[in-house]
Every structure is written in structure tokens, then in C-alpha cells.
């Protein structure tokens, strides 16, 4: 890992400046993983969980130690976590969520990543089927109480709900392609670096229209 990051992390840890340690760990997922492994037994649990949540969608989901502390992070969820949710679901007591994955249905509840948008799950299923044709793909739907959501992660416009063992009533849906309208929005915005006003990203506008029609 980066020696400068390691040195700065050690300095912050020695004086128990956890805010500074988290800022150092925010550099990138690979260096955050190095810091977590190096100082795992010395860091407060809330610090480890916040670092894991921060990097989970920054390729952090590939690292076991990141997934480990995401699964433990529910007690440290910010009180204002709902503010990032799309407006139609912001005040709901429970959410319908979807997932594409290769795991069998009895293991789906252990999977961290779910989405509020069916077309997002369909897109992932089609993508996985394209890149991993040897693996069986499944499309799942379930419900989760708002009180059991670990985090809502919207940085990639995937309407992602992070959870662990708390999606209920899981059922398998038939595999199908995402809607043409979704793909038009996705292709025009997924790799765009334009700046949009908060809660006005085209994919969120699509979510709002879709949600109103289900």
C-alpha cells in the first residue's frame, strides 16, 4: 500500500484522531483495505464500519474486510440517511427490493447489494449472463424494513440498498431484459460527467416515473 497513507494513518491512530484517520482512509479502497488490515485491532468499530461503507461501491465490495464491516454497520447509520432516497420512497416503512445474482434463493438474504429499481437488477442479470455465461443467473424480489437498511448508496445511480440477512419474502422472478426506456436513460447518463442538480439526475427521474406506475 502507499507508504504515505500508511504513515499518516499511523500518526492519526497514535493520537486517536479518528476523524483524521477516516479522511486518510478515504484515499481509495485498496489503501483503505491496507489500513483496516494493519490496524484492525486498534480501531473503534464505528470507524471501521464508516470506512467500509464509504468504499463499498468504490470497488470495496471485492475485499472481504470491507464486506465484513459493511455487514456490521447498521448501528452506525446516520440519522439523516433517508435524505438521499428518491422522493417517492423516502418516508416508507418498508421497501420492495430486487437483486440479480448467481446464488441460490436460500442464500440471497446474505447478499449485501440490492436495488430499489427492478430495471437495475435486470441490467445486472443481463450483464452477468454476458460475462459469465457458465454461471446460472437469478432475479430476486423481496421486502426489507426501513429499520434494517444498513445504507442507501446512490453514487452510481443504481438505487442500491445495503443490507445483511434482513430481506424477507424473497421470491424468484423470470429473467427479462430491462426496458428500452431504462436503457436509453442508462446509455445517455451512465458514463456522463455532467453535473446535475441534487435529486434531478435523469436516472432518478426515470425511477420516479417507474415507481408511480407500479
- Asked if 102 contacts 154 with a C-beta cutoff of 8 angstroms, the reply is no
- Residue 128: DSSP 8-state: H
Which residues, at least 6 apart from 31, have a Cβ–Cβ distance to it below 8 Å? Answer: 1, 2, 5, 25
- Residue 177: DSSP 8-state: P
Instruction: State the residue for C-alpha cell 445486472.
Output: 124
Question: What pLDDT is attached to residue 40?
Answer: 97
Question: What pLDDT is attached to residue 19?
Answer: 97
- Asked if 98 contacts 118 with a C-beta cutoff of 8 angstroms, the reply is yes
Query: Between the CA atoms of 66, 154, 85 and 98, what dihedral angle is there, to the nearest 10 degrees?
Result: -80
| 2-20 per-residue burial string, b: 16 or more CB within 10 A, e: under 16 | eeebbebbeebbeeeeeee
Task: Quote the pTM value.
Answer: 0.91
CA 174/CA 139 separation, integer angstroms:
7
Q: What does each of the 214 residues of the chain score in pLDDT, given as a tens digit?
A: 899 999 999 999 999 999 999 999 999 999 999 999 999 999 999 999 999 999 999 889 999 999 999 999 999 999 999 999 999 999 999 999 999 999 999 999 999 999 999 999 999 999 998 899 899 999 999 999 999 999 999 888 899 999 999 999 999 999 999 999 999 998 887 544 444 454 557 888 999 999 988 7
Amino acid at each position: 500500500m502507499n507508504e504515505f497513507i500508511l504513515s499518516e494513518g499511523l500518526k492519526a491512530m497514535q493520537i486517536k484522531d479518528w476523524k483524521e484517520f477516516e479522511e486518510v482512509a478515504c484515499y481509495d479502497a485498496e489503501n483503505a483495505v491496507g489500513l483496516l488490515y494493519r490496524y484492525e485491532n486498534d480501531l473503534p468499530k464505528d470507524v471501521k464500519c464508516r470506512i467500509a461503507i464509504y468504499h463499498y461501491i468504490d470497488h470495496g465490495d471485492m475485499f472481504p474486510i470491507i464486506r465484513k464491516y459493511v455487514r456490521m454497520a447498521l448501528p452506525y447509520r446516520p440519522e439523516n440517511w433517508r435524505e438521499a432516497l428518491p422522493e417517492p420512497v423516502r418516508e416508507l416503512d418498508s421497501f420492495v427490493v430486487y437483486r440479480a445474482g448467481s446464488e441460490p434463493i436460500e442464500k440471497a438474504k446474505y447478499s449485501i447489494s440490492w436495488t430499489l429499481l427492478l430495471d437495475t437488477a435486470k441490467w445486472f442479470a443481463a450483464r452477468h449472463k454476458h460475462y459469465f455465461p457458465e454461471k446460472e443467473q437469478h432475479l430476486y424480489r423481496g421486502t426489507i424494513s426501513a429499520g434494517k437498511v444498513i445504507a442507501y448508496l446512490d453514487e452510481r445511480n443504481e438505487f442500491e440498498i445495503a443490507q445483511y440477512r434482513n430481506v424477507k419474502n424473497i421470491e424468484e422472478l423470470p429473467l427479462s431484459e430491462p426496458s428500452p426506456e431504462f436503457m436509453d436513460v442508462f446509455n445517455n447518463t451512465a458514463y456522463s460527467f455532467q453535473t446535475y442538480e441534487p435529486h434531478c439526475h435523469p436516472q432518478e427521474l426515470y425511477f420516479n416515473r417507474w415507481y408511480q406506475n407500479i
